[in-house]
């Protein structure tokens, strides 16, 4: 009988997985590697130092919280050396897919002889909806588990390769991932496309998400900041972000808002939204990273979906 280890995408699903009564221990991967600078050597001292500095600066994560919630769980993963079958539970969105790549990169180096399989939720019916794991019934989760994808060495090598590209200082090579076979990772191409759209556009210096925030304000005229957040969280395609990430973006766009209760754009905000004014120089942050790349060293050309280096 093979010994099992489950690695999940977060605490909410870990709680759910505990109710499924499956054999094996559970490790929760508590990170948001889609945000802030990342180094390719997952689990190294420099990797965790870089991550803590980002989370502490932008999300006020304390050292004690980081050690207790993230590092302790990572050390627990390091101590699980005997399991010969590891099951990953992740979802279709950018948030999950980047974490999945990092975990697979770590497993490639540290668990070379384990059998690794993947349960990944997304398109589960003909509705067009993309499903998170926690949105699925117990029966559906067990079905996905029974039909989980066993990853080949080539799959794992490919995931590690994409992770190295994500952590490089030039995102342009990631464009090839979108157009080529993504092995057994059904949602990776779309998640990487969403990642590239986070670089500022030529049109107005804001990225896809920042433009979507302004568009939502202009079209829906939300009464409160909370109502705006609700709209952004409900319809976000392949991003999979949480409220704290959108809160940070809204704060960065605050000079373009005349009011938050109700939420309204200034005249300048409307001009930026409609491409009459470029906001790049005002919003530019020379220390802001997306993976290994400086966000404002590149532009996204919406006309041909290509990245340009400044």
Sign of CA dihedral 222, 223, 224, 226: negative
Domain membership of residue 258 as a residue range: 208-283
pLDDT of residue 235: 80
Contact, 129 vs 99, CB < 8 A?
no
Residues 140 and 253 in one domain: no
| Nearest residue to 17 via CA among 31, 6, 2 | 6
Residues 190 and 215 in one domain: no
pLDDT of residue 253: 97
pLDDT of residue 183: 83
Tell which of 196, 225, 255 closes a domain: 196
Tell which of 196, 226, 249 closes a domain: 196
155 beta partners: none
Residues 185 and 221 in one domain: no
- For 88, phi then psi, to 5°, come to -100, 135
Residues 143 and 219 in one domain: no
Residues 12 and 37 in one domain: yes
Residues 187 and 239 in one domain: no
Residues 168 and 30 in one domain: yes
Q: Domain total for the chain?
A: 2
CATH code of the domain in which 273 resides: 1.10.10.10
pLDDT of residue 19: 95
Residues 96 and 137 in one domain: yes
pLDDT of residue 155: 95
Cβ neighbours of residue 244 closer than 8 Å, sequence gap 6 or more: 59
pLDDT tens-digit profile of 162-187?
999 999 999 999 998 887 777 899 99
- For 293, phi then psi, to 5°, come to -105, 140
- Residue 157 CB neighbours (<10 A): 13
pLDDT of residue 130: 93
Does residue 295 lie in a domain region? no
Contact, 253 vs 282, CB < 8 A?
no
pLDDT of residue 106: 98
pLDDT of residue 75: 96
pLDDT of residue 282: 95
Give, in order, the Cα–Cα distances in Å from 61 to each of 68, 75, 290: 11, 19, 19
pLDDT of residue 176: 85
pLDDT tens-digit profile of 295-308?
999 999 999 989 99
| 188-196 helix and 153-166 helix, angle to the nearest 10 degrees | 0
Contact, 39 vs 47, CB < 8 A?
yes
Does residue 121 lie in a domain region? yes
pLDDT of residue 293: 97
Contact, 29 vs 8, CB < 8 A?
yes
Residues 102 and 161 in one domain: yes
| Nearest residue to 35 via CA among 50, 57, 54, 10 | 54
CATH code of the domain in which 52 resides: 3.40.1360.10
Does residue 303 lie in a domain region? no
CA distance 302 to 210: 14
Which pair of tokens denotes residue 222? 């939300």
pTM strictly above 0.85: yes
Tell which of 135, 167, 196 closes a domain: 196
Which residues of the chain, if any, have pLDDT below 70?
1-2
Contact, 14 vs 77, CB < 8 A?
no
């Amino acid at each position: 009988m093979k010994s099992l280890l489950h690695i999940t995408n977060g605490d909410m699903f870990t709680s759910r997985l505990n109710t499924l009564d499956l054999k094996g221990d559970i490790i929760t991967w508590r990170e948001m590697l889609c945000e802030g600078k990342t180094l390719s050597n997952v689990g190294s001292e420099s990797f965790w130092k870089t991550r803590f500095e980002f989370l502490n600066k932008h999300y006020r994560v304390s050292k004690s919280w980081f050690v207790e919630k993230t590092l302790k769980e990572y050390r627990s993963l390091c101590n699980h050396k005997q399991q010969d079958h590891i099951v990953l539970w992740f979802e279709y969105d950018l948030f999950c897919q980047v974490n999945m790549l990092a975990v697979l990169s770590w497993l490639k180096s540290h668990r070379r002889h384990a059998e690794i399989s993947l349960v990944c939720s997304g398109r589960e019916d003909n509705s067009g909806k993309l499903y998170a794991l926690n949105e699925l019934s117990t029966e559906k989760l067990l079905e996905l588990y029974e039909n989980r994808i066993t990853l080949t060495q080539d799959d794992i090598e490919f995931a590690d390769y994409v992770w190295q590209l994500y952590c490089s200082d030039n995102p342009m090579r990631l464009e090839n991932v979108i157009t080529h076979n993504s092995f057994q990772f059904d949602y990776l191409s779309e998640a990487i496309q969403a990642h590239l759209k986070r670089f500022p556009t030529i049109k107005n210096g804001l990225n896809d998400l920042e433009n979507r925030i302004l568009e939502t304000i202009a079209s829906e005229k939300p009464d409160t900041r909370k109502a705006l957040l609700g709209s952004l969280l409900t319809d976000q395609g392949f991003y999979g972000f949480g409220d704290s990430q959108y809160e940070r973006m809204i704060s960065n766009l605050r000079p373009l808002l005349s009011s938050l209760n109700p939420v309204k754009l200034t005249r300048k905000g409307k001009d930026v939204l409609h491409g009459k004014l470029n906001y790049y120089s005002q919003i530019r942050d020379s220390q802001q990273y997306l993976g290994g790349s400086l966000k404002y060293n590149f532009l996204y050309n919406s006309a041909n979906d290509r990245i340009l280096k400044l």
